[in-house]
Amino acid sequence: MQADIPTVPARAKLDTALRSLMEKGRPVVGVIEADGRLVGLLTVENLGEMMMVQAALSKTYQATEKFFR
């Protein structure tokens, strides 16, 4: 078991979590609340999926915004 898993705050941006994961060379990054409680784990695969969803939502929002102008 590895005790030196990097962590990021629950409200951190996805690129912050990815950078932490890559810099430390670990398979996961822990997600913690302000009180230090672990609330989740992120992998490279999870982050990649989330970034694709975020990009798709951003494009959808931009298209919708142009439509209603």
Task: Give me the CATH number covering residue 41.
Answer: 3.10.580.10
- Does residue 35 lie within any of the structural domains? yes
Residue 27 forms part of a structural domain: yes
Is residue 58, in this structure, part of any structural domain at all? yes
pLDDT more than 70, % of the chain: 84
26 found inside a domain: yes
Indicate the number of domains in the chain. 1
Taking residue 37's Cβ as centre, other Cβ atoms within 10 Å add up to 9
The residue segments making up the domain with residue 52 are 7-67
- pLDDT over 80 (residue 63): no
Name the average pLDDT for the chain: 86
Taking the C-alpha atoms of residue 42 and residue 7, their distance in angstroms, rounded to an integer, is 10
Residue 49 lies in a domain: yes
Q: What is the pTM of this model?
A: 0.71
